Chain A
Amino acid sequence: MAKILAVDDSASMRQMVGFTLKSAGHDVIQASDGAEALKLAQVNNIDLVLTDINMPIMDGITLIKNLRTLPAYRFTPMLTLTTESGTDRKMEGKKAGATGWIVKPFSPEQLLATIKKVLG
């Protein structure tokens, strides 16, 4: 169905997200840091970006900022995966151009429901 870019430096998170989304029929591309994700986004047509915030090399906020400068990604839905239930991290993401966020920990069902909401 949709091509989703999942970015997280935790392999177990990437696995869980990848598996969940694939079993719903989506195509998942994984990256373990923002720099890798940015490269992958430029050679693939991504429909949705899911990214953790705290990552080495390039964090999620910077990734989103950079993606938004690419013509193909001006309107693409981008969600941050954040464990903070406090507001500043979410708002930082939005300032950078994120569409919204998902709060960790989330269940596979919650993930799918949110994805469905965003992809229509």
Chain B
Amino acid sequence: MSVSEENESKTVISCTSTVDIKIAVELFEHLSSAIESHRAVEINAEDVERIDTAVLQLFLAFVLEAKTKEVSITWLGVSDAFVTAANLLGIGSQLALPDAARS
């Protein structure tokens, strides 16, 4: 996973093919700082092949928080694997994944 800050106002998170609990803490820190600094967040999950509950749970909590704090989240792309996993956990709609992807 790589994170870049394009400018003062947004954070882009690009997920690599494997995003799992091993990077959960790191991801948490990036998401936390984005919320604290009220930056918009763009997430690219196009390349994700393996993802686990810990990361999905994290994204879910983040999405819920972002809503209350009015931080914008944009999904730049989501892989099929990402969507399948999210749907298995029943959180696809709550994550507000792009329309075409939702089951």
A residues near B (Cβ < 8 Å) are 75, 120
List CB contacts (< 8 Å) of B6-45 with chain A.
20-22
Question: Which bucket holds chain B's interface residue count?
Answer: under 10
Is residue B69 within 8 Å, beta carbon to beta carbon, of the partner chain? no
Q: Is the CB of B22 within 8 A of A75?
A: yes
A75 to B24, CA, bound (A): 11
Q: Is the CB of B21 within 8 A of A120?
A: no
Q: Is the CB of B50 within 8 A of A120?
A: yes
Question: Nearest chain B CB to A24's CB is how many angstroms away?
Answer: 17
A75 to B55, CA, bound (A): 13
Question: Nearest chain B CB to A105's CB is how many angstroms away?
Answer: 30
Q: Is the CB of A75 within 8 A of B50?
A: no
Residues of chain A within 8 A of B22, CB atoms compared: 75
Question: Nearest chain B CB to A14's CB is how many angstroms away?
Answer: 27
List CB contacts (< 8 Å) of B50-76 with chain A.
50
A75 to B50, CA, bound (A): 15
Question: Nearest chain A CB to B18's CB is how many angstroms away?
Answer: 10
Residue from B20, B22, B50 having most chain A Cβ neighbours under 10 A: B22
Question: Nearest chain A CB to B47's CB is how many angstroms away?
Answer: 16
Write the chain B residue with the least CB distance to A76: B22
A120 to B55, CA, bound (A): 15
Write the chain B residue with the least CB distance to A71: B22
A120 to B50, CA, bound (A): 7
A75 to B21, CA, bound (A): 7
Residues of chain B within 8 A of A75, CB atoms compared: 20-22
A90 to B54, CA, bound (A): 25
